[in-house]
Chains A and B, each alone.
Chain A
Amino acid sequence: MEFLHLTELRKKLDSREISSSELAKYFLARIKKLEPQLKAFVTVTEEAALKDAQEADEFIGSPGENPFLCGIPYVSKDLFATRGIRTTASSKILDEYKPPFDATVTRKLKEQKSVLLGKTNLDEFAHGSSTETSAYGPSHNPWDTSRIPGGSSGGSAAAVAGGLSPWATATETGGSIRQPSSLCGVSGWKPTYGRVSRYGVIAMASSLDSPGAIAHSVEDLAHLAEIMAGQDEKDSTTGHVPVPQYSRNLTADIKGLKIGIPKEYFLDGMEEGIKQRVMEAVKELEKMGAKTVEVALPNTKFGSLVYAIVAPSEISSNLMRYDGIRYGHTVPAAADLLEVYEKSRAEGFGDEAKRRIMTGTYVLSAGYYDAYYKKAQKVRRLIVNEFAEAFKQVDLLVCPSSPNVAIKLGSAKDNPLFGYIADQLNIPGSLAGLPALSVPCGYARPADNDTPSMDGLPVGLQIIGPQWGEQQVFNAGFAYQQATDWHKQHPSLE
């Protein structure tokens, strides 16, 4: 039951083989049992979940009448505002914060009568790739609990991979959905920038943030995309492009699809197992009739460098509002107003957030703006243009989601460049606002070789599409999952 796909759960709820309340209770019990191992949650909303499930049960009508998510439990990254429910961004500065409003995504899921089980852990303000910067401690990878689940959406990925929730909301700025999905062996959708509303999603870097989802299959993700995507009058950066019926349009027929293999995404230092699994996946796609061609994206190497300037700049700006006056952590004993600011922020933010605030403040400050921020945004143009050129020749790009499988907890500690390196295969696409998927494509032994997991740890296949090109990304992922069963394999946690 814990690993059923949304499409299967929908059938069972519609046929009344199972009730929403039973589902909620089942998953809440599983959370209770496994949470001590996984630490995927910041908050479990048991009471509200049971109430919502009961309401959903009363609402459920005949098959075909019910919203796709009606009565189905989910968990939400603790970055999505949930009215009246604690939303922390995994930061001490928002430890007790209860938003007075719902994020647009939260509202849409409520309208579907989804059942929220809890809020998942993340790197503080999504700053990181391991959940280790969370003020509440790291989450653990269900395949090997001594390892990171990836991040920043690590709690969401771990919850889905561990069967604690059928799906989870997540967000990407530069890899935060693809990388943890890859490390936890689940399917993750990073939308086109502007495809899903950012309203109510606590901002990291506004020009990059893309709320998305993690689930067990691409088919599930296509259904979720239909619900989550769309123009939002509260987010001026959402696209006006109509949302296709992704799930209805899904097809495994990818004959003639032109797939580019960017050689720069197969790095020298990359784990051999990752290269092998991804090339095997490419063969699989070729077997189904896709045509593959090597493409060159020479500016890829600048992606993480651009990101290392643009993201902290926007972060430093977006985190200005945490001043201990309207909400959040404050130091009442401060001597004066200046001290309220300086102490509240010093106590409220963790090291990584401070590091990014400091970097961003520095590069935006007088005299440095042109040399750093402006320069970075120009190099970003090169990257955007390069992808645009590539998509004139190919329909999709395929590459690994992460240069490595899950590393040990603690091994990235105090490396200020960890995130930029971990996400170097995700960041260029994020800078260009492109849609992508990470789907499981097998296992590889970690470099340290120290894992009880027999076959090794999950490897993710990344599929990148052109702007607004979700449908073809979903189709390729769907086709791959029709031909393989990696996405149906799960860790044993019992």
Chain B
Amino acid sequence: MLSKEEVLRIAKLARIELGEADVEKFQKNLSTVLEYVEALKSVDTSGLEEVSQVTGLINVQREDRAILAQNREEILGQAPEIKDGYFKVKAIL
């Protein structure tokens, strides 16, 4: 089973606050998933290239043309807090 420290390390990386009970739950859940996928390790994949795209597309690119979007206010309107046209956040140390 995944250790408590390991779960906390992952939670920190993922920036999710966990309570005591959560830690235990995730120890179990993650371990279940990792056991479930264990069988993959024995599959012979020598000489196989990993898939990251199934479309086979290459060089899909956009011409360099600038478009000034017309939805600035809508975008800013979604933010929890705006100050002088900036997104406001707690002080970045």
Contacts and interface: CB of A to CB of B under 8 A. Distances in A.
Contact of B90 (A207, A239, A340): A340
Interface of B: 2, 6-7, 10-11, 13-18, 22, 26, 29-30, 32-34, 36-37, 39-41, 43, 45, 48-55, 57, 60-62, 71, 74-75, 77-81, 87, 89-93
Interface SS of chain A: helix, strand, loop or mixed? helix
Interface of A: 83-84, 97-98, 100-101, 193-194, 207, 233, 236-237, 239-240, 302, 305-306, 308-309, 312, 316, 323-328, 330, 332, 334, 336-343, 345-346, 349, 354-355, 357-359, 361-362, 365, 371-372, 374-382, 384, 416-417, 420, 431-433, 467
Contacts of A467: 54
B39 A305 contact: yes
A384 B57 CA distance: 16
Contacts of A316: 14
B17 A345 contact: yes
Contact of A381 (B51, B61, B91): B51
Given A325-B87, A379-B43, A384-B54, A305 B16 contact: no
Contacts of A193: 54-55
B93 to A, nearest CB: 7
5 contacts: A240-B57, A327-B79, A365-B13, A378-B50, A381-B49
Given A326-B78, A346-B16, A378 B11 contact: no
B93 A337 contact: yes
A420 B34 CA distance: 13
A337 B20 CA distance: 22
Q: 10 tightest A-B contacts by CB?
A: A377-B50, A100-B74, A433-B54, A378-B45, A327-B78, A346-B17, A342-B17, A341-B15, A236-B60, A100-B71
B15 A336 contact: no
B83 to A, nearest CB: 13
Given A359-B30, A381-B51, 11 more contacts: A100-B77, A207-B53, A302-B39, A325-B80, A337-B89, A338-B15, A340-B90, A345-B14, A358-B7, A365-B10, A384-B51
**Most interface-central of A355, A361, A377, A380 (chain B CB within 10 A):** A361
Contacts of A358: 7, 10-11, 14, 16, 26, 29-30
A377 B40 CA distance: 11
Contacts of B55: 193-194, 237, 239, 433
Contact of B26 (A237, A325, A355): A355
Contacts of B53: 207, 237
Contact of B40 (A302, A346, A433): A302
Nearest to A304: B36
Given A302-B39, A376-B40, A381 B50 contact: yes
A84 B52 contact: no
A316 B79 CA distance: 22
A380 to B, nearest CB: 4
A362 B50 contact: no
A54 B82 CA distance: 37
B15 A100 contact: no
B87 to A, nearest CB: 6
Given A327-B78, A378-B50, A416 B32 contact: yes
Given A345-B16, A365-B10, A417 B33 contact: yes
A83 B36 CA distance: 40
Given A239-B55, A325-B80, A326-B79, A375 B89 contact: no
B61 to A, nearest CB: 8
Contacts of B51: 207, 377-378, 380-381, 384, 431
A299 B55 CA distance: 21
A436 B27 CA distance: 37
